[in-house]
Every structure is written in structure tokens, then in C-alpha cells.
Amino acid sequence: MQAHLVQIDSVWEDRSANLARAERLVRGSDPKPGDLVALPEMFDSGFSVNTEITADRAGETRQWVQRVARETGCWLQAGTTVPAASGGCFNAALIAAPGGEIVTEYHKTHLFPTEAVALTPGAGAKVVELGEGSGRSLAPLICYDLRFPELFGDGLALGANMFCVSACWPKVRLHHWRALLIARAIENQAFVLGVSRTGHEPTVETAGGSIVVGPRGDVLGERGAEEGVLSVELPWDDVALWRRVFPAWKARRVSPGSYRPVS
């Protein structure tokens, strides 16, 4: 399996332009059936909390995710804003299977202060198996979640051996992004993928830095600030081997659902 991290320079609050741009990037990376394609947080809008414009109320982004997953035969993770039954909105990561069905929808647990005024926090970690019996279990997470290792611990307890963090990470704290992704891979003895957008937004400058980290903390691939796709082969046997040789992961005192944000 290859991972294709789509580092897009999203057009501010322009869904149609971003779906078209993302599709060109995905197709250009030539993913093979069974691969994983991942897009950043709110890839279809930029990091906007103007939910009257950005929320995917008509399902355009959802349908795009389903269609592209089906047509490429890939697993696809994509960040968007979705309406909540309560009347609010979630910062979400959709996971589509190669057949096109949405197999899980993760809602960002930790909201950054500027988005907390407009969005609803999620309920915690989720894990999805990438193919029945494949042994590949993915926990999707979003941006600010990266700073909270307990949430990763919940994912580990639910069986995750890969974490994929979709983000709009600011350039000014890019060194935190890289360091924390490597740390989470070492702590959980798992693959950790970080896919972030690049380019300027009205209130922040981003700089990409998408990266794939192996279960020993080794960097398997990394991208600079330019728009494009980072494609990396994931040597899956490394997770089981390293966990067997150095089984620190078994010593974690975490159980599913044990983590709760501080009120």
C-alpha cells in the first residue's frame, strides 16, 4: 500500500475550485487500487469557520469523496465541515472505502480557540480497518488533536496501527508539527501520516510540511512548502515486527473511551 498525501493550496471558501484542484492532484499522483489518499483539514474551503458558506449541507464534498474513492479504488480521507444534528457543525474527516461508501466520519475532538466559537467538538477517537482482515487499522485525527497524546492512546487501545492527521497547520509553528508527528509515531509504535495544506489564508500562512513517519520514528517521506502530492510506500510488516521486538505499546494504561478533554 502507498499513501498519497495531497498538499493543496486551497482557495478561500470556494468549494468548486477546491474540488477541481484536489481532483487534478489526486489523479496526477496515479494512485493504485487499495492505496490510501489523504487530504488536509477543510480542504474544500480553507480554515474558515464561516459555516453558512463552508458547511457541506448539500453533500457536494461528500459525494466528491465517494466518487473519487470509487473511481480510483482507493481509501480516501478528506477534511470538510459538516452540519450536526444539533444545529451546529463539526470539523470532520470523512473516510471512504474503495467502493465509495463512507465507512467512518471522525469529528475533531480538540477545537482551536478560533473555531470553538463556531463549531461543535467531537466525542473522541475512531478507528476503521482498511479492508477486512488486512491488519491495517486507521485512526483519523485533525490538526490541533496532534497536541494531545491521550487521544492517540485511545486510538491505540481501539486497535490503530496507523494515524492520519489532516491539518491546516500554521507556518509559524511548523517545527511543532514535525516534532509532534514523530513523537506520536514513537509513542504508539505506529505509522503516523500528517497532511497539511499550504499557501496563504486571510488570517494565517501555512507551509505544507506533509510527512510520513514509520513506527520507529523514522521519516519515510517529507514534502516542503510547494503544492503537490507526497507518495510513500508503507512497509506494513514494520509495525508488527517493531511491536514484537520492543513491546512498549503493551504497557500503555489506556482503555477505549478513557480519555476526556479537560472542562
Just list the catalytic residues. Answer: 41, 108, 143
**Residues 140, 162: Cα–Cα separation, whole Å:** 9
Buried b (16+ CB within 10 A) or exposed e, 148-166: beebbbbbbbbebbbbbbb
Characterize the bridge pairing of strands 2-7 and 36-38. Answer: parallel
Using the Cα atoms of residue 148, residue 151, residue 155 and residue 156 in order, give the sign of their dihedral.
positive
Q: Radius of gyration of the chain from Cα atoms?
A: 17
Largest interatomic CA distance in the chain: 51
Q: Helix and strand tally (H, E) in the chain?
A: 7, 14
State how far the alpha carbon of 88 is from the alpha carbons of 22, 33, 103, 145, in Å: 26, 36, 22, 20
Three cell numbers written together for 89: 457543525
